[in-house]
């Protein structure tokens, strides 16, 4: 194994650790909300420093590989993709942190009716599934699984699109829960962005494996399992 191969292998291991850390943060933010566990919310806030530190480490490693080892072709695409995926994952970590900030600010546990009307728990679960899918796609270099994320993200878009109406209906009969309702709306907006970050990650996985650029392509082309040459 060459020095470059060893560094690329180490980079992939670190990336998978970053995926796992961020997925854990997202799942903990859901549990903190559902269980109204402020201690767990504070744990997520503390762990965000680990996410940020790990992002900086991976960025430095990628820069050193490019500067010192001169990767070419698929190896170079892999390193470039890792830099972008690393940034996407850090943003998902920020989203989990933001949700836990809301948990700390909310004075009362969220009404079950509000959770059901807004489909907030379904949104959390779908976000976790999508993030886990892109992690698996990255680990196994599975572009078919990476492409499946584009379709699954439509669930998040649908829930987000209907959020204003569902929250508005709840407020009409629960005027004492306006602040809670607005926090819920903000969480929905944040979780919708988790889907966007995961789509970006999928595009980078396809880029480094197939050398296909899907950025700004219509959804029908992104989902095409055969892809199109650029």
Please give the Cα distance from 210 to 204 (Å, whole number).
Answer: 10
Say which residue the tokens 């903990």 belong to.
28
Which residue ranges form the domains of the chain, and what is each CATH number?
3-223 (1.20.58.220)
- Looking at residue 79, its pLDDT comes to 97
pTM, two decimals, is 0.90
Please state, for a pLDDT cut of 70, what percent of the chain lies above it: 92
Please give the Cα distance from 194 to 215 (Å, whole number).
Answer: 17
Tens-place pLDDT, residues 45-93: 999 999 999 999 999 999 999 999 999 999 999 999 999 999 999 999 9
Tell me if residue 146 falls in helix, strand or coil: helix
CB 36 within 8 A of CB 183: no
Q: Mean pLDDT, to the nearest integer, of 111-135?
A: 96
């Amino acid at each position: 194994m060459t020095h470059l191969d060893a560094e690329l292998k180490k980079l992939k291991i670190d990336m998978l650790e970053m995926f796992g850390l961020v997925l854990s943060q997202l799942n903990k933010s859901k549990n903190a909300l559902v269980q109204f566990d402020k201690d767990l919310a504070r744990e997520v806030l503390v762990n965000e420093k680990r996410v940020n530190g790990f992002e900086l480490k991976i960025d430095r490693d990628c820069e050193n590989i490019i500067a010192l080892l001169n990767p070419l072709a698929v190896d170079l695409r892999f390193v470039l993709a890792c830099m972008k995926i690393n940034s996407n994952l850090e943003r998902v970590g920020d989203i989990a942190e933001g949700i836990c900030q809301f948990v700390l600010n909310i004075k009362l546990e969220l009404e079950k009716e509000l959770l059901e009307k807004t489909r907030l728990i379904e949104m959390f679960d779908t976000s976790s599934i999508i993030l886990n899918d892109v992690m698996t796609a990255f680990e196994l270099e599975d572009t078919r699984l990476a492409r499946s994320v584009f379709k699954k993200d439509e669930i998040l878009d649908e829930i987000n699109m209907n959020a204003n109406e569902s929250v508005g209906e709840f407020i009409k009969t629960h005027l004492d829960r306006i602040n809670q309702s607005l926090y819920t709306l903000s969480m929905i907006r944040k979780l919708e962005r988790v889907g966007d970050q995961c789509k970006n990650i999928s595009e980078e996985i396809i880029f480094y494996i197939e050398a296909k650029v899907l950025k700004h392509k219509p959804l029908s082309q992104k989902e095409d399992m055969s892809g199109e040459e650029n």
